[in-house]
Structure 1
Amino acid sequence: MTARLIVAECFGVEKPTFQGEGASCGHPALFIRLSRCNLSCTKCDTKYTWDWSQFDPREESTKRTVAELVDWATSSPVELVVITGGEPLLQQEGGLVPLVRRLLAAGKRVEFETNGTLAPVADLVVDGVRFNVSPKIASFGMNEAKSIVPAALKALVASERAIFKFVASSVPDLDRIAGLADAHRLSPVWVMPEGTTAPAITETLRVLADPVAARGWHLTTRLHVLAFANTRGR
């Protein structure tokens, strides 16, 4: 059977772009955005991957073979491939493992952007793969009973290939992040300001910067929003 994945969009070849967040912020990157998610955060900026009350899945997603995706990625010399969503690990029992194997064999390195509710299968916990884990706290518009899954976080910590990136809207959010980091031994911690416009991101970044620094955490902006005004596909 031909391995296929449900894909929302691929970008970074025709119009070069960067990883906009976290430890690889500023690195040239290719993006494979998979469709579907197991959460429904009210502040999500990619609702076209899961919110079928607003979007038509027939228009917003296609099934693409692993071979098609590898051919697309290897048409570019860019090394970093970011597999994002939605929640990409929903498809790890399908075509995701062969996709990653072929990307690594082609000399690419892979970063997953995941919400931290699903443990990666062993075949994805390999050299050349990193996990940018973004657990969703209540201020992001999600019930933490669904978005904080201790067993999955434990597996991601144990992988020794994960960073933990939290979206924060205010200083009080940092106390909640600290509680989760302590309870689940999450490290390293990155904090990113919530916002979909440059003024909003800059304002929140300035509010968060000193208290994040005081905790010894990492701070990241949202480079793609600052550079491309949240244009889809950049």
Structure 2
Amino acid sequence: MTPSEPIDINSAASDAALRLIVAECFGVEVPTFQGEGPSCGHPALFIRLSRCNLTCAKCDTKYTWDWSQFDPRKESTKRTAADLVAWATSSPVELVVITGGEPLLQQARLVSVVRGLIAAGKRVEFETNGTIAPAPELVAHGVRFNVSPKLASFGVRENKSIVPAALEAFAASGRAAFKFVASTVADLDRIAELTDTHRLAPVWVMPEGTTADAITATTRVLADAVATRHWHFTTRLHVLAFADARGR
């Protein structure tokens, strides 16, 4: 697997320079829901940015970064901040989820997007792997961060996926929830170590799986242990409802 090429997030602030590298936008033409975490089940629009700084073996959006399997020229386009705001504000849906890949690779370019969305009455959730601390301009009213640190069991080295300073910045922001993908009870033990060490709260656990059968099976493996720890539990609604179809 080949990691994404670096992105210059300090480009000059012209309209052309403020274009973002986008994998897909969906939820306007065909309505959908936020499928995970604290807003699971809420109607949502999605702006999925391309590129990631991790190469997780179990990633389900490899078309945002794995150029050994996908062609970046076919899997991404460049869109201006104004274009993305206009697209999202064409819908009455309140919640806009900015995801990836890893969206905070492009966070300097996202400031004007977020400001435009908030000014239009939207609320914004970032889905982030928690390796990059948020810019102060993004830690704002109407913005939340769903931080999903990746465990070694997800197919990534934790010396890359666990960045203590970034996790602690999210925790200090007061605008983050910490959502961990888990497959086994042993994963829950590792989550407990991380949350205790870095004072991460609130904690959400999500069963790993890309089919309804897999999610159901893993849910039953984890449920008692999650409940015992008094953590939140989330499913993957988009998988259950739409069979993990792209763009849903």
**How would you bin the TM-score normalised by the shorter chain?**
over 0.9
Amino acid at match of 1:36: R
Which aligned runs of 4 or more in structure 1 are off by greater than 6 angstroms? none
| Partner of residue 66 from structure 2, selected from 51, 56, 66 | 51
> Aligned ranges for residues 1-234 of structure 1 at < 5 Å?
1-2=14-15, 3-93=18-108, 95-234=109-248
| Cα distance in 1 between the residues matched to 2:171 and 2:82 | 31
SS of the residue 2:78 aligns to? strand
SS of the residue 1:203 aligns to? helix
Shift in Å at residue 187 of structure 1?
Answer: 0.4
SS of the residue 1:36 aligns to? coil
| Cα distance in 1 between the residues matched to 2:166 and 2:193 | 17
SS of the residue 1:111 aligns to? strand
| Cα distance in 1 between the residues matched to 2:224 and 2:78 | 45
Amino acid at match of 1:123: E
Percent identity over the alignment?
Answer: 80
Q: Can you list the C-alpha shifts for 1:133-161, whole angstroms capped at 9, x where unaligned? A: 00000000000000000000010001000
Amino acid at match of 1:49: T
Shift in Å at residue 74 of structure 1?
Answer: 0.5
| Cα distance in 2 between the residues matched to 1:166 and 1:223 | 16
SS of the residue 1:221 aligns to? coil
Gaps of at least 5 residues in structure 1 are none
Alignment: residue pair count: 233
| Cα distance in 1 between the residues matched to 2:154 and 2:55 | 10
Shift in Å at residue 89 of structure 1?
Answer: 0.2
| Cα distance in 1 between the residues matched to 2:78 and 2:166 | 27
| Cα distance in 2 between the residues matched to 1:189 and 1:40 | 24
Gaps of at least 5 residues in structure 2 are 1-13
| Cα distance in 2 between the residues matched to 1:71 and 1:160 | 29
| TM-score (normalised: structure 2) | 0.93
| Cα distance in 2 between the residues matched to 1:221 and 1:73 | 26
| Cα distance in 1 between the residues matched to 2:88 and 2:107 | 19
Shift in Å at residue 67 of structure 1?
Answer: 1.1
Q: Can you list the C-alpha shifts for 1:15-65, whole angstroms capped at 9, x where unaligned? A: 000000000000000000000000000000000000000000000000001
| Cα distance in 2 between the residues matched to 1:206 and 1:21 | 17
Shift in Å at residue 165 of structure 1?
Answer: 0.3
Amino acid at match of 1:151: A
Over aligned residues, Cα RMSD in angstroms? Answer: 0.4
| Cα distance in 2 between the residues matched to 1:189 and 1:121 | 22
| Cα distance in 1 between the residues matched to 2:230 and 2:210 | 26
